[in-house]
Amino acid sequence: MVEILLLVGIVVAAFVGYNIGGATTGPAFGPAVGANVLSKAGAAALMSVFFFIGAGTLGQRVVTTLGEDLVTGASVFTLETSIIVLFFIGGALFVGNYAGVPASTSMTAVGAIAGLGIATNTLDWAVMGEIAIWWLVAPIIGFWVSGVVGRYFYSAIDRWVAIESTDGALFEFDRSGLVPRPVLGPNTTRRELTGGIVVIAIGCLMAFSSGTSNIANAIAPLVALDSVEMEPMILLGSAAVAVGAFTIARRTLDTLGNDITDLPLTAAIVVAVVSSGIVISLSAVGIPASFVIIATMSIVGLGWGRATRTVTVRQGIKGEKEPTVSVGALTADEMPPIGEGDASDVPSASDLFNPGTSARVVLMQNVVPILSTVGALVTFTALFTLIW
């Protein structure tokens, strides 16, 4: 019976990993796919490799936090409770992926485990509080760092990384020899090549950061059991993520790459670097972070920084000139020097975001973690009430 339950647990963990692959490939490689720099298959392949690297290194610390530190009591994680927790994590993420929305896998997983801890009175509120505080602080850091970049450095970065797309593929495969080898496309320019490499490299960084933070969401409840080793589960979870990246992630790649926003490529690069840096830093100390939330606030901060260039710090403090704060400023080809120009020069947010898709994304990013948390809490409360 134990062997059967363990097999069920492994299958459910793989299902969670599959949905993580679907939820995180879009944020990582959506800009590259949307800019026609990378194919969906190429994005999936790179996601699989760099997710595994992140999971096998810093990801182990986050596994320890969720599997051992968040709930106390050696008997809390049994095969049965682990399967139920993973079921709610995977089920909630599947709802988001089916809707084509990349929900926060970390918030979804922590919510399900917290539901178990509250129902059994074993939740370590100090650890939960530390995680929650960083969930609040990290997006604020992302906002301000991106805001400073947007206000003072964005134009220089844009001139450096801007990609002028030409007709045809960025790369092609030369199959004249025994082994196909990649070559530049017929119209690929050196600048286009450099920009494409930068965008792909940023996607790889994001995939790495996803592995450091998200592998725990798939395997931590099982690794908490004495009979399950961490290393084989990291291999299993990473393989499941790869399957999700090659299949269901196509929906979130469309949403992040084409539907939700016309986010300029330079802005996407800045947001990716800032968000990935914060997620990797938190993973290094064992804190599961929500890349989606941090990235969203980074976009807002970047737009705020760009929009406030029309006002100097002195004018803002004295109230002499009011800026128009809008993420739509990211669509402006060139903002005026600091202190010059008028608020009317700043584009509105409607020039950047698709309102219908944006509303759907915001709704599902809140619904998915709530589903896992409430579902686990109600289920475990009912089960333990019946048992006792």
pLDDT 10s digits, 234-248: 999 999 999 999 988
Domain total of the chain: 1
Q: What is the mean pLDDT of the chain?
A: 79
Residue 195, beta-bridge partner list: none
Q: Locate tokens 């020039």: which residue? A: 351
Query: What are the C-alpha distances in Å from 20 to residues 53, 109, 292?
Result: 15, 11, 13
Which of 121-130, 148-157, 178-187, 260-269 is predicted with the least confidence, judged by mean pLDDT?
A: 260-269
CA atoms within 13 A on the CB side of 47: 37
pLDDT 10s digits, 145-166: 988 998 888 888 877 766 666 6
| CA–CA dist 217, 209 (Å, integer) | 14
Q: Is the pLDDT of residue 31 over 50?
A: yes
Please provide the DSSP assignment of 127-163 as one string: HHHHHHHHHHHHHHHHHHHHHHIIIIIHHHHHHHH--
Domain holding 15, by residue range, is 1-387
Residue pair 105/23 in contact by the 8 Å Cβ criterion = yes
| CA–CA dist 20, 10 (Å, integer) | 15
Straight-line distance from the first to the last Cα atom of the chain, in angstroms, rounded to the nearest whole number: 23
pLDDT 10s digits, 86-124: 989 888 888 877 776 667 788 889 999 999 999 989 999
Which pTM was predicted?
0.79
Maximum mean pLDDT: which of 50-54, 69-73, 334-338: 50-54
Can you give the pLDDT at residue 52?
Answer: 96
